[in-house]
């Protein structure tokens, strides 16, 4: 797989993304399923992933038409920048289980499961804000039954987000956020590169 780079020249304006704080960096059409969620299927989960790759490398994999993988969002480690790669209404190919793909939104986090230094304060804060927004938008409870790790998907052969992911901290942060318009979502997230 060839890893591409995310640059301002390849990013569409933020308004193309569903999440107000995200840059639109779409996955290849062959790596996702067009749908009409939540009208056609309920969205009732957020699945937390760790990329095992860099931010730019992950975007490149999602844009590679032969990779057959994508997630809705990718959060960068160093500054919490969020890219959206699949629209919320569409089905990302991230869980490894079709049932979970159809009912969830996948969030990839830049880093490696065995390297906790990638789980920065900026990454946690940005991801918690995104997850709170998704929970409030789609009526998803902000709890561990509905915000799960990739390793918790039935039949998963992945271990992410791994033993260094601080679930207690993350859920506390998600629970403390209310994403009203004019709040933190309207603040700039940073540069792509």
By annotation, the residues acting in catalysis are 108
DSSP for 182-193 reads TSGGGS------
Between strands 91-92 and 32-33, the pairing is antiparallel
Q: What's CA 189's distance to the chain center, in Å?
A: 15
The whole-angstrom separation of Cα 170 and Cα 16 is: 27
Neighbouring residues of 111: CB distance < 8 A, sequence distance ≥ 6: 50, 51, 52, 77, 118, 119, 123
Measure the CA–CA gap between 185 and 177, rounded to whole angstroms.
Answer: 11
Distance CA 73, CA 64 (A): 16
How far apart are the C-alpha atoms of 82 and 184, rounded to whole Å?
Answer: 13
* Nearest residue to 53 (alpha-carbon basis) of 117, 3, 103: 3
In sequence order, the 6+-apart residues with CB closer than 8 A to the CB of 107 are: 46, 47, 48, 49, 71, 72, 73, 74, 75, 127, 130, 131
């Amino acid at each position: 797989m060839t890893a591409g780079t995310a640059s301002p020249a390849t990013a569409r304006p933020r308004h193309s993304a569903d999440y107000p704080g995200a840059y639109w960096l779409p996955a290849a059409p062959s790596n996702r399923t067009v749908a009409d969620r939540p009208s056609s299927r309920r969205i009732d989960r957020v699945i937390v992933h760790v990329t095992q790759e860099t931010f730019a490398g992950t975007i490149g994999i999602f844009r590679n038409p032969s990779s057959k993988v994508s997630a809705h969002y990718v959060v960068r480690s160093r500054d919490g920048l969020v890219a959206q790669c699949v629209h919320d209404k569409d089905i990302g190919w991230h869980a490894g289980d079709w049932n979970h793909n159809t009912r969830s939104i996948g969030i990839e986090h830049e880093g490696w499961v065995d390297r906790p230094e990638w789980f920065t304060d900026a990454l946690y804060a940005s991801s918690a804000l995104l997850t709170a927004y998704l929970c409030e938008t789609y009526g998803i409870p902000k709890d561990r039954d509905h915000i799960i790790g990739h390793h918790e998907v039935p039949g998963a052969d992945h271990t992410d987000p791994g033993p260094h992911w601080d679930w207690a901290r993350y859920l506390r942060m998600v629970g403390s956020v209310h994403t009203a318009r004019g709040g933190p979502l309207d603040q700039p997230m940073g540069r792509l590169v």
